[in-house]
Each structure stands twice: as structure tokens, then as C-alpha cells.
């Protein structure tokens, strides 16, 4: 537990926490012996982790650190309730049973991957009751004062002060460290490096109602609404090539090679590695009128000529969605191009949801659509495209992965104005499960429904389109949601599993 504390700061209550963790671990282990099934039963290592999380949660609430308070405030803004699916939503201070049970519901799938449990599962309720009684009693004798609160209340003047807090929150806090561990395992084989960490901190959304570390930190810090908006916008880091036009110990005057816009980047580093006329690839984020590096930088000395025009075209072609973040003129072109492509697809198919029996049928139809679009262009534009893109066969070709082309379980394709073509394989099984209206849904159908909701490549708009046609009752059943369900239930599931779609996004269309 000590490894998760901010260094150099201690509060009056910090010395009591390790003892409470040990006692709570034993209580949780004993309580699990009375569970009616093994769905939520944890091994000793996971029980230890859970005990630490619960004690740190109670420390947060006991000391008014603000993490849980920010989470509830966001929930009220999003869903109209502080704790989705809690039996009672009455405002209450302190460590309440509803808060403990909700935390267990959110954290359990991180400790038991693949677990889908009802927020009112009987064993979950038993564990919550035991933990709640322990925490309320234990924290009566814990003096107020937390090193974490002192850390988060330290100055917010400079971007690196914010970044230091963000790193702690995203990698060490009880809310995010399990999500962070899973992210490292998935994206970098569990190894820590600056780029992967920065991606998690600035971009990743979590089961906490789809909120990420930047969102919770913005809700915790004593900053202005403008600062809060800017911090939550860090998911749109300006990743590009920068030419250093001026270098000092305090700042860098740089030009974004792609957009040709000037940036003043604050560094305050007497022994920094930057040099005049260097080319640097890196990401920057804004804070109170200046820019700061975010993550790693890669540098090249200008010992040889660098074709900036070629770099610009490469980024437009390979990283179009990133370029849209910082280049207004290019973004306008992308949006116009995406709207044109979407309108053409809708005109060709006559609907925004196209169903194919198999991948070969889909591939043939896409080639037919592409050929019709290609042949509808003026001949001079066709010739220009052939020369510009080096089309050997004299026409555009569509590449479709072999596994998708060979799929025979039904394919649903949603034509999104922002996301483009969204593809759902196993569509026959999904629809069969939805049509059961929550009754006698098979395991295979349930897996398809859960995958549809949890997939990070399927947008909320795609989900809404399908359930509007085939019904949502089986979705509720697949996620073990108790009846009667509140009005916000589907929106909550979508935000919880697809939070990144609720941030500003750009079409995956390149204009070159």
C-alpha cells in the first residue's frame, strides 16, 4: 500500500491505514466463506488488493480528498443520479453502504476478468455490508489528515504540477490503478514506458462511467471552469513534428511542421537536450496559455535536409485523425470529405444498416460500390488519381482481411458519418439473442450481446440503431440489470464501456 502514496507528504491518518488493510483483508476472506456461489469469490492476492482499495476509498471520503465526490458529481450530470443502480440515491455524507456496494460492483470485473454481475448480486451485497460496517467503525478512530489530500491541494500553476498529479492519480489511486495495470498488460506486455503511460493518462476511458484520469482530476482540483475544460481536453494531444526556431532554458519557440502554426513550449530545464533547428516529434498539451511536452520526444539534428512537405503528407495520410486536432483547415476538408462519402454510401445502400450473410457477399458488394463511385468521376480526375496514387490496375482496389472475407456468421455494417463503416461479425447470433426479448437467451447469444456493448470499435450510435430495431430487453438480461430498470440504463452501459466515443472524434478519412 505504501508504494501508492505520493512521496514526501504524510497526513495524521496515514499511519493507521496499513493496519486497517490487514484487518479488512481477514474480514473479507471470512465473509467470502459464506458466499452462495463462487462467482465473486476471490483468491488471497485479489482479496488483499480489494482491502487496500476499500480502505483508500474510505480515506478519500473520510478526508474529503474529492475523488469519489467528483465521480458522483459527474454521474449526476450524466444520468441524474449519484450512483447508477444503487438502491437509494439519497445524498449522504461519509462511507455509506450504497457507496461501498457500488465500488465493489465497479471493481469486481477488474479482479475477476470476464465477470458480469448484477449490482444487487446477493454475495456482492453480503461483502458490501461487512466492509461497510468495518470501515465506518474503523474510521471513527482515524484522525483526519491525508498526505494524498495535501498532494492534490498543492499549487496548480504550471503544467508539470498538473502532470505530476495526473500520473499519481492514473497509476496509483484506488480508482485507476487496476485499469492502468490492465492497460499496460494489453498494450505493452505489462511494461512501463513513458509513451504507454501517457496514452493511458490522457486518452483511456474506464468503467467509472466512461471517465478517465483527466476527467476525475479536473473534478478534484480547485481550478477555474476554463482550466477544468482545458485539462479534460488533454485527450486531444497535439502529436506532430516540431521545428525548434528558438531555444532557451525556460521555453522553446517551435513551429508545427504539419500545420505551420507557432507554439511556445514551456520547459524550465537548464540542462535540456533541445537545440536550435532541431526537428522533434512529440505531443504537447496546453495549460494556462502555454504548451507543455506530454510523453516522450524523438529528436533529429538538422545535419541533413529534411523534406517537411513529405512529413506533412505522410501525417495527413497515416494520422489524419490526429492532424484534425490541431489543423483547422485540414479538419474542414476531412469533415467535408467524410460527409460526401457518407452521403454516397447512403444513396447506394438506401439504409445506414446493411446486413450481409457472409464476408464474400460483403466484399463483392463493396467492390461494386467502389467501382460505381470510381466510374462516376470525370475522366480527367480518374487519370489524375491514377498518376497521383500509382494505381497499377488503373482503378481503386479495396483490401479486406481474409478472416473477415471468410466469415459466414452474418455481418452487420453500420454507416456512420463520423466512424465510417462499423462492422459487427456474428451478427446473426446477436440478432437472434435480441429477438428473444430477454427470455431463454443462450450463452452464445449472451456473449454476442456483451461483446457488442463492450467492443471499443462499435459506437453507441451503432448499438442504438440495432436495439431500436430488435429490442433492448436481452441487453438488460445479458448485463444482469435488475428490474425495473431506470431510464438511463442503456446510456450508462454505453458510457461505461464506450467512453471514448463521447469525446470529440474525427472521421478516419485522409485528404491528400
Please check whether residues 345 and 453 belong to one and the same domain: yes
Q: Which residues constitute the domain of residue 273?
A: 237-326
Please check whether residues 51 and 99 belong to one and the same domain: yes
**Does residue 261 lie in a domain region?**
yes
Query: What torsion do the CA atoms of 214, 215, 216, 219 make, to the nearest 10 degrees?
Result: 120
**Does residue 383 lie in a domain region?**
no
Query: What torsion do the CA atoms of 205, 207, 209, 210 make, to the nearest 10 degrees?
Result: 20
**Does residue 390 lie in a domain region?**
no
The pLDDT, as a whole number, for residue 93 is 87
- Reduce the DSSP state of residue 353 to 3 states and report it: strand
Q: What percent of the chain has pLDDT over 70?
A: 94
Please check whether residues 97 and 23 belong to one and the same domain: yes
Cell 512521496 -> residue: 7
The answer to whether residue 28 scores a pLDDT higher than 70 is: yes
Alpha helices in 173-260 (DSSP H): 177-188, 194-203, 213-220, 225-232
Cell 444520468 -> residue: 79
- Write out pLDDT tens, residues 44-88: 999 999 999 999 999 999 999 999 999 999 999 999 999 999 987
The answer to whether residue 391 scores a pLDDT higher than 60 is: no
**Does residue 452 lie in a domain region?**
yes
CA distance 179 to 157: 28
Q: How many domains does the chain have?
A: 4
- Write out pLDDT tens, residues 252-280: 999 999 999 999 999 998 899 999 999 99
Nearest to 205 by CA among 480, 507, 500, 406: 500
Please check whether residues 9 and 82 belong to one and the same domain: yes
Please check whether residues 202 and 321 belong to one and the same domain: no
Neighbouring C-beta atoms of residue 308, cutoff 10 Å: 15
Contact 253, 264 (CB under 8 A): yes
The pLDDT, as a whole number, for residue 377 is 64
**DSSP secondary structure string, 9-29?**
---TTGGGHHHHHHHHHHHHH
Please check whether residues 163 and 277 belong to one and the same domain: no
Region for residue 355 given its phi and psi (left: phi exceeds 0; alpha: psi -120 to 50; beta: otherwise): beta
**Does residue 509 lie in a domain region?**
no
**Does residue 404 lie in a domain region?**
no
Please check whether residues 436 and 475 belong to one and the same domain: yes
Nearest to 412 by CA among 402, 400, 427, 401: 427
Of the two residues 36 and 155, the one the predictor is more confident about is 155
The pLDDT, as a whole number, for residue 373 is 79
Q: pTM, whole model, 2 decimals?
A: 0.94
Distance set, CA 145 to CA 17, 150, 153, 155 (Å): 12, 8, 12, 18
- Write out pLDDT tens, residues 326-357: 999 999 999 999 999 999 999 999 999 999 99
Task: Please say which residue of 233, 261, 284 terminates a domain.
Answer: 233
Task: Please say which residue of 233, 268, 290 terminates a domain.
Answer: 233
**Does residue 143 lie in a domain region?**
yes
Average pLDDT over residues 126-145: 97
Task: Please say which residue of 190, 206, 233 terminates a domain.
Answer: 233
**Does residue 392 lie in a domain region?**
no
CA distance 211 to 218: 11
- Reduce the DSSP state of residue 354 to 3 states and report it: strand
Please check whether residues 101 and 227 belong to one and the same domain: no
Amino acid at each position: 500500500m505504501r508504494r501508492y502514496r505520493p512521496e514526501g507528504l504524510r497526513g495524521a491518518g496515514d499511519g493507521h491505514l496499513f493496519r486497517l488493510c490487514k484487518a479488512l483483508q481477514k474480514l473479507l476472506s471470512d465473509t467470502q466463506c459464506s458466499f452462495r456461489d463462487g462467482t465473486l469469490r476471490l483468491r488471497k492476492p485479489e482479496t488483499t488488493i480489494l482491502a487496500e482499495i476499500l480502505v483508500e476509498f474510505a480515506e478519500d471520503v473520510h478526508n474529503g480528498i474529492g475523488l469519489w465526490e467528483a465521480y458522483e458529481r459527474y454521474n449526476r450530470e450524466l444520468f441524474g443520479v449519484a450512483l447508477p443502480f444503487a438502491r437509494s440515491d439519497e445524498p449522504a455524507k461519509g462511507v455509506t453502504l450504497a457507496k461501498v456496494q457500488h465500488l465493489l460492483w465497479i471493481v469486481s470485473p477488474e479482479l475477476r476478468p470476464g465477470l458480469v454481475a448484477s449490482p444487487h448480486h446477493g454475495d456482492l451485497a453480503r461483502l458490501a455490508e461487512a466492509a461497510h460496517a468495518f470501515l465506518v467503525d474503523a474510521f471513527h478512530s482515524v484522525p483526519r489528515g491525508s498526505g494524498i489530500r495535501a498532494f492534490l491541494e498543492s499549487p496548480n500553476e504550471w503544467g508539470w504540477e498538473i502532470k505530476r498529479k495526473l500520473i499519481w492519480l492514473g497509476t496509483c489511486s484506488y480508482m485507476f490503478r487496476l485499469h492502468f495495470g490492465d492497460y499496460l498488460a494489453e498494450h505493452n506486455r505489462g511494461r512501463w514506458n513513458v509513451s504507454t503511460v501517457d496514452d493511458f493518462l490522457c486518452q483511456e476511458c474506464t468503467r467509472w462511467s466512461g471517465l478517465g484520469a483527466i476527467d476525475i482530476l479536473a473534478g478534484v482540483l480547485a481550478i477555474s471552469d476554463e482550466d477544468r475544460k482545458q485539462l479534460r481536453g488533454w485527450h486531444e494531444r497535439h502529436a506532430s513534428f516540431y521545428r525548434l526556431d528558438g531555444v532557451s532554458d525556460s521555453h522553446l519557440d517551435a513551429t508545427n511542421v504539419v500545420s505551420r502554426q507557432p507554439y511556445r513550449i514551456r520547459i524550465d530545464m537548464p540542462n535540456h537536450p533541445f537545440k536550435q533547428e532541431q526537428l522533434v516529434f512529440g505531443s504537447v498539451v496546453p495549460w494556462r496559455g502555454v504548451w507543455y511536452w506530454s510523453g516522450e520526444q524523438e529528436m533529429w539534428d538538422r545535419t541533413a535536409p529534411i523534406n517537411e512537405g513529405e512529413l506533412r503528407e505522410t501525417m495527413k495520410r497515416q494520422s489524419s485523425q490526429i492532424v484534425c486536432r490541431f489543423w483547422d483547415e485540414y479538419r474542414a476538408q476531412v469533415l467535408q470529405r467524410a460527409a460526401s462519402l457518407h452521403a454516397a454510401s447512403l444513396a447506394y445502400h438506401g439504409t445506414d444498416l446493411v446486413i450481409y450473410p457472409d464476408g464474400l457477399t460483403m466484399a463483392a458488394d463493396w467492390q461494386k460500390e467502389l467501382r460505381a463511385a470510381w466510374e462516376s468521376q470525370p475522366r480527367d480526375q480518374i487519370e489524375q488519381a491514377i498518376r497521383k496514387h500509382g494505381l497499377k490496375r488503373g482503378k481503386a482496389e479495396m483490401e479486406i482481411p481474409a478472416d473477415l472475407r471468410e466469415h459466414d456468421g452474418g455481418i452487420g455494417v453500420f454507416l456512420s458519418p463520423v466512424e465510417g463503416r462499423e462492422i459487427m461479425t456474428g451478427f446473426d447470433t446477436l440478432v437472434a439473442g435480441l429477438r428473444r426479448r430477454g427470455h431463454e437467451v443462450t450463452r452464445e447469444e449472451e456473449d454476442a450481446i456483451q461483446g457488442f456493448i463492450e467492443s471499443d470499435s462499435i459506437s453507441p450510435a451503432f448499438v442504438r440503431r440495432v436495439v431500436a430495431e430488435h429490442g433492448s430487453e436481452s441487453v438488460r438480461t445479458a448485463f444482469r440489470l435488475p428490474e425495473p430498470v431506470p431510464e438511463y440504463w442503456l446510456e450508462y452501459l454505453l458510457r461505461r464501456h464506450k467512453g471514448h466515443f463521447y469525446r470529440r472524434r474525427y472521421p478516419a478519412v485522409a485528404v491528400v
